[in-house]
Chains A and B, each alone.
Chain A
Amino acid sequence: MFTYTIKRLLQSLIVVWAAVTLMFALFFIIPGDPISLKSGEKALPQEILDNIERKYGLDKPTYVQYFRFWGNLFRGDLGYSYKNDKSVNTILHDGLSTSARLLFWGALLQLIIALTVGLTSAIKRGSLGDRLGTVFSVGIQGIPVFVSGLLAQYLFGVLPFQMHWDWLNFYKPWPQTWTLGIIPTDSWKGLVLPALVVAVVDAAFIARMLRSSLLEVLRADYIRTAFAKGLSARRVWFHHALRNALIPVITVYGTSLIAIFGVAVQTEKVFSLPGMGSTIADSALSQDAPVVLGLAIVVIAFGAVVNLIVDLSYALIDPRIKIDAKAVH
């Protein structure tokens, strides 16, 4: 497993290099450049634009900029934002903690919702709960985050404030202080709506996946045998059925965690959270290459690590699965 892990990590490095190189090239292909974009309704004199270009080394040939970027990266320096001269390392440092917290709570809530809805739907197949679960799954998945986010702000923020129902007002500032890095110690209400918006999008899909997988496992012979042996329904459900039904669900959950990153980006924008979400959107629009490239490295690395964890977790859940270094290819 060790060799497998090392090989996968090396593969991830190649993926990061290829993706960043491609994005670097794209910044030079797409029309406009970050410095001339600074001339908006009011024109800036060319000398001023030249000053800014010199400051960020954009007056150098592309290949020099490319090698300088990697040279700085190996020293842990991601450069400076063209937009506001802030260190990309600082931008990432500031934004990552918020994004990580949102992802953690979103993923946790997603798991809780998916397991609850999926299990209920499978156990009570055909019941009202199952049907409501289906409606919930289909309905929620179709709503874009910027709509569900604003709707949540209205229903659990604007409306309660106007009605003086403060207990229902969950649209509060993002928590500022945390215990153990993830537990808010002030304004915990500020966490609820963003995490819920992140969670519900894929929770519905995972719940449906779990339901189908469980129903399939329940038809297997060994489940019938387990019941015939006189095992309790709880033991059969949770020890035999759920464990086997979870394997395809984990694959989907792993993919979902990467997708959730995209949802979190939109959620951060809609809720104006101090994470990487709005930074990604704003930087891409203003062609702020250092910030976008820095963020890309983080996102790709995150995806690679999640995929690796998913692969390794198969062996933990199902001892019949062996990780083979040769299988990497």
Chain B
Amino acid sequence: MKVQTLGKRSAAVIAALALAVGGNVVVAHAAAPAYIDCELFGAGEPDFIDPALTSTLVGANVATMLFDGLTDTDANGNLYGEVASKWTTKDGAKTWTFTLKKGLKFSNGEAVLPSSFVNGWKRSMDSKLASEVAYHGDFILGMNAYSTGKGAFPSSSVVADDKAMTLTVKMENPTADWPSIVGHSVFSPIPTTMIGASGKVEEDGTKLVGNGPFMLDKAITKRAGGEVVLVPNPNYGGKAALLSKVTFKISSDVNAAYNAFASGQCDNGPIPAGRYSELLGKWGTKGVKTTLGTDYWGFNWEDPTVGGTKNKYLRSAISKAIDREQISTVIYQGVRKPASGLLPPGLPGYVAGQGITSTRDLAGAKADYKRWLDLGNKTPAPIRLSYNDGAGWDKVASIIIANLKDVGIPAKLDPFPADGTYFSKMRKGQGQMIRAGWFADYAIADNFLYPLLHSNSIGGDNLERYSSATFDGLINSARSSTNKSFAQSQYRRAEIQALRSDVVITQTVNRGIATVLAASTSVFPISPLGMIVFDQIVKN
């Protein structure tokens, strides 16, 4: 009792003193810490944070904090139900039924129902919204006509039963990986208040309403110096966020963003190019993670010198000559690790060593080059290493040129102007040895192999214009199979066909994320898809 009296008296004295000096009386309590992020938008503003519109990893990172989809991928790359409790398929992976968890709510208190997903997809695939990522909906029967403005929303392909809490989706083709694909943020649900909302909805923090661990408090996007502020969603049905607020600072310059971190303005920051070793040595490596992405160089399949089956030994000589360890250490200071295949570690079904080699094999390179010459070929004109200028690829290309020189293969830099037209020129077959890379949209092998190497993707992301009936057949059989292990074995065979038998591409490094963290950040989880899991960050 006495203690209580003293407490009250003390509080009164403190309050009086505070009032006397013109301050406010603040009742102290153990609140969750706030977090200031200077890393995510350290190199520029996000395109959108609206899950229906964002096409960038950084924009999607915020979107995934605001919206939970039917499924998601955990830290080990394994699929799990987020809003969905279970899913089943029939008709040979052409019809999927998701059963949703009950009691989940949006941040405005509205229930998350199967119809919330229908409303979300109607909005994100609408041709009038003109989303860059609407094409992900093309897996659904009739959705392409809707997203290109040629037809109505395919209501018979996406059927919601709010009473039974089920969502049934009919596919255009057998799609065994649909549960993984549907985890993409473009398939997020929306509350009724967002039906038909335009792309400007994110500019008003109160209107972009989601069902994720956070809700939007403020968004001054589209400009440097702006910020996006998230606060915990009070109606969240999952594990509550450990932070009271996350502020994302938008910077227009990586150096300025790092300096902001280093001068105490933020809890994390980006690493300017060429300073990985120095800064990771100084701040620690807790913020480093290998992600589901691979850098590689492809050979133009139609090029008379490096393309086609007749030049396989020249390609294998080049592939064996490349020193991936040197690229990893010199250019990326170990943040990007040497790759041994196109599919990255962490992807379900990943097997190491699918490429023709993962380490430098100078003797093998020389032997293969001699075999190619012995077939009647002459020393070629310097092989062009094509890349988009201004992004630092000249350094990687220079290492490869030096590596090839050791074998006696002449090569030269072939920079394309940094005007954004590089990839469209490569798609038209203008490259010879082509700089390329890929980052997973969803954690499945098909997301790498089909767009990058299937003949249907020529003119798209198959920059090499590679066409192989064997490869296509393996991919087609994998896509239509509901037998997971069979599908994975077909994908593995297809990868070997392209990388080892045909050597149409040669991998260099797996991508990674590196960020510097203040000492107060004790847990900083990053998903294999490169998303920082802000709701699980632990700050002391």
Which residues, 25 to 45 on A, are CB-close (under 8 Å) to B?
A: 30-32, 36-45
Give the complex CA separation of A272 and B249 in angstroms: 10
Q: Is there an interface contact between A150 and B47, defined as CB atoms closer than 8 Å?
A: no
Give the complex CA separation of A163 and B262 in angstroms: 12
In angstroms, how far is the closest chain A Cβ from the Cβ of B122? 15
In angstroms, how far is the closest chain A Cβ from the Cβ of B217? 15
Q: Is there an interface contact between A269 and B203, defined as CB atoms closer than 8 Å?
A: no
Q: Is there an interface contact between A54 and B130, defined as CB atoms closer than 8 Å?
A: yes
Residue numbers in A under 8 Å from B421 (CB-CB)? 31-32, 36-37
Contact with A along B440-465 (1 / 0, CB 8 A): 00000000000100000001110000
- A37 to B, closest residue via Cβ: B420
- A268 to B, closest residue via Cβ: B224
Give the complex CA separation of A83 and B134 in angstroms: 17
Q: Is there an interface contact between A158 and B223, defined as CB atoms closer than 8 Å?
A: no
Give the complex CA separation of A35 and B82 in angstroms: 34
- A87 to B, closest residue via Cβ: B200
Q: Is there an interface contact between B423 and A91, defined as CB atoms closer than 8 Å?
A: no
Q: Is there an interface contact between A86 and B222, defined as CB atoms closer than 8 Å?
A: yes
Contact of B252 with A by CB under 8 A: yes
Give the complex CA separation of A149 and B127 in angstroms: 44
Instruction: Indicate whether A150 sits within 8 Å of B132 (C-beta atoms), given known contacts A83-B47, A86-B203, A278-B223.
Output: no
In angstroms, how far is the closest chain A Cβ from the Cβ of B45? 7
Contact of A50 with B by CB under 8 A: yes
Contact of B255 with A by CB under 8 A: yes
In angstroms, how far is the closest chain B Cβ from the Cβ of A36? 6
Q: Is there an interface contact between B259 and A279, defined as CB atoms closer than 8 Å?
A: no
Contact of B420 among A40, A81, A171 (CB under 8 A): A40
Contact of B316 with A by CB under 8 A: no
Which residues, 171 to 203 on A, are CB-close (under 8 Å) to B?
A: 171-174
Which residues, 70 to 110 on B, are CB-close (under 8 Å) to A?
A: none
- A291 to B, closest residue via Cβ: B222
Q: Is there an interface contact between B225 and A274, defined as CB atoms closer than 8 Å?
A: yes
Contact of B44 among A39, A45, A274, A282 (CB under 8 A): A282
Q: Is there an interface contact between A169 and B135, defined as CB atoms closer than 8 Å?
A: no
Residue numbers in B under 8 Å from A37 (CB-CB)? 420-421
Q: Is there an interface contact between B437 and A85, defined as CB atoms closer than 8 Å?
A: no
Residue numbers in B under 8 Å from A232 (CB-CB)? none
Contact of A148 with B by CB under 8 A: no
Residue numbers in A under 8 Å from B257 (CB-CB)? 272
Residue numbers in B under 8 Å from A38 (CB-CB)? 55, 132
Contact of A256 with B by CB under 8 A: no
In angstroms, how far is the closest chain B Cβ from the Cβ of A88? 11
Contact of B415 with A by CB under 8 A: no
Residue numbers in B under 8 Å from A83 (CB-CB)? 47
Give the complex CA separation of A282 and B149 in angstroms: 31
Contact of A296 with B by CB under 8 A: no
Number of A-B contacts (CB under 8 A): 157
In angstroms, how far is the closest chain A Cβ from the Cβ of B298? 12
Contact of A161 among B149, B264, B424, B438 (CB under 8 A): B264
Q: Is there an interface contact between A169 and B263, defined as CB atoms closer than 8 Å?
A: yes
Contact of A292 with B by CB under 8 A: no
Instruction: Indicate whether A173 sits within 8 Å of B200 (C-beta atoms), given known contacts A50-B148, A84-B47.
Output: no
Contact of B180 with A by CB under 8 A: no
Contact of B222 among A55, A81, A157, A158 (CB under 8 A): A81
Chain B interface residue count, Cβ-Cβ cutoff 8 angstroms: 57
Give the complex CA separation of A48 and B147 in angstroms: 8
Interface centre among A31, A48, A55 (most CB of B within 10 A): A48
Contact of A254 with B by CB under 8 A: no
Q: Is there an interface contact between A269 and B224, defined as CB atoms closer than 8 Å?
A: yes
Interface centre among B132, B224, B419, B421 (most CB of A within 10 A): B224
Which residues, 121 to 159 on B, are CB-close (under 8 Å) to A?
A: 127-128, 130-132, 134-135, 138, 144, 147-149
In angstroms, how far is the closest chain A Cβ from the Cβ of B482? 27
Interface centre among B132, B144, B251 (most CB of A within 10 A): B132
- B127 to A, closest residue via Cβ: A51
Contact with A along B319-331 (1 / 0, CB 8 A): 0000000000000
In angstroms, how far is the closest chain B Cβ from the Cβ of A287? 8
In angstroms, how far is the closest chain B Cβ from the Cβ of A315? 40
In angstroms, how far is the closest chain A Cβ from the Cβ of B96? 23
Contact of B268 with A by CB under 8 A: no
Q: Is there an interface contact between B264 and A32, defined as CB atoms closer than 8 Å?
A: no
Contact with B along A253-286 (1 / 0, CB 8 A): 0000000000000001111111101110110001
Contact of B220 with A by CB under 8 A: yes
Contact with A along B248-291 (1 / 0, CB 8 A): 01111101110110111100000000000000000000000000
Interface centre among B53, B128, B200, B439 (most CB of A within 10 A): B200
Residue numbers in A under 8 Å from B132 (CB-CB)? 38, 44, 48, 52
In angstroms, how far is the closest chain B Cβ from the Cβ of A105? 16
Contact of A85 among B144, B200, B461 (CB under 8 A): B200
Contact of A154 with B by CB under 8 A: yes
Contact with A along B185-224 (1 / 0, CB 8 A): 0000000000000011001000000000000000011111
Chain A residues with a Cβ under 8 A of chain B: 30-32, 36-45, 47-48, 50-52, 54-55, 81, 83-87, 90-91, 94-95, 98, 149-150, 153-154, 157-158, 160-162, 169, 171-174, 268-275, 277-279, 281-282, 286-287
The 8 closest A-B pairs by CB, nearest first: A274-B225, A157-B263, A278-B252, A37-B420, A278-B224, A47-B148, A272-B251, A51-B130
Contact sample, A vs B, 21 pairs, CB 8 Å cutoff:
A32-B420, A36-B420, A36-B421, A37-B421, A42-B438, A51-B147, A55-B128, A85-B53, A85-B200, A86-B200, A94-B223, A150-B255, A157-B262, A161-B263, A162-B262, A272-B251, A272-B256, A278-B223, A278-B224, A279-B223, A281-B252
Chain B residues with a Cβ under 8 A of chain A: 44-45, 47-48, 53, 55, 127-128, 130-132, 134-135, 138, 144, 147-149, 199-200, 203, 220-226, 249-253, 255-257, 259-260, 262-265, 417, 419-421, 423-424, 427, 436-439, 451, 459-461
Query: Apart from A272-B224, A279-B223, what are 18 other A-B pairs with CB-CB below 8 Å?
Result: A32-B420, A42-B461, A47-B135, A47-B147, A48-B135, A50-B148, A54-B149, A83-B47, A149-B256, A150-B256, A153-B259, A157-B259, A158-B262, A162-B262, A272-B225, A272-B256, A273-B225, A278-B252
